[in-house]
Amino acid sequence: MDAFTRFTNQTQGRDRLFRATQYTCMLLRYLLEPKAGKENVVMKLKKLESSVSTGRKWFRLGNVVHAIQATQQSIHTTALVPRLCLTLANLNRVVYFICDTILWVRSVGLASHINKEKWRMWAARHYCCSLLLSLARDLYEISLQMEQATRDRAEREKSPPQDPTGYSVADEETEWLQSFLLLLFRSLRKHPPLLLDTVKNFCDILNPLDQLGIYKSNPGIIGLGGLVSSLAGIIIVAYPHMKLKTQ
């Protein structure tokens, strides 16, 4: 109970709960829409989804400052690739949150002349760029972990295995793929923060790709991706040691 109280006392914690609720409603609405006699339930889910989405905008009003602070911190990252990816990703997040704030101003009627569609597309572009850069950083970290796992394995093995007689090219390609996937699985299993961050960023990028028309998805896929991403975010907020650290 104390852990839950600490979690909900954080703005990020409440936002993650609202976000999980929003995408759960989207997923359930997609699953129930084709079924007869569910119109009333679908309408209630749509209203709840809209209300939660509006409530989340209040939590994001101060995120511009957090994104600027994250940019300042990422500049001091030791490794070149993470420093470049994180700094550019955070700069795109700054622009995204500015666009999001402008859209909020438009939604509450403070500036009705704002072109909603134009700013929505700008927000989607910068959000997509931020996630792509974050995924590039994740792939870089994964490659480092796989290289380290390969070196550890080589040290454990005294001599390389002998190829069996009649070994074909197809067998070699199949074994290479299996070895690669096994190495990837072991690398991510040993580093849960990297796994969580990769899954979260991958699931998050489905929404902006759909908005920009780059890769169209149905509301069910977007809802499922958003729900998985939200659950990963909840774990990261609830257990800070699960957050991917910057060197």
Name the residue with higher pLDDT: 165 or 154. 154
Mean pLDDT estimate for the chain? 86
Kindly tell me if the per-residue pLDDT of 174 is higher than 80.
no
171 falls in which pLDDT band (50, 70, 90)? low
**Each residue's pLDDT tens digit, 185-202:** 888 888 999 999 999 999
6's CB contacts (< 8 A; 6+ apart) are: none
Q: Cβ(4)–Cβ(239) under 8 Å?
A: no
Q: How far apart are CA 58 and CA 238, in angstroms?
A: 21
pLDDT of residue 64: 85
**Each residue's pLDDT tens digit, 88-126:** 999 999 999 999 989 888 887 788 888 889 999 999 999
Mean pLDDT of 153-177: 62
Helix (H) or strand (E) holding 131: helix 116-156
Pick from 231, 212, 222: nearest CA to 31: 222
Q: Cβ(242)–Cβ(196) under 8 Å?
A: yes
Q: How far apart are CA 106 and CA 10, in angstroms?
A: 27
123's CB contacts (< 8 A; 6+ apart) are: 96, 99, 100, 103
The sign of the CA dihedral 95, 97, 99, 105 is: negative
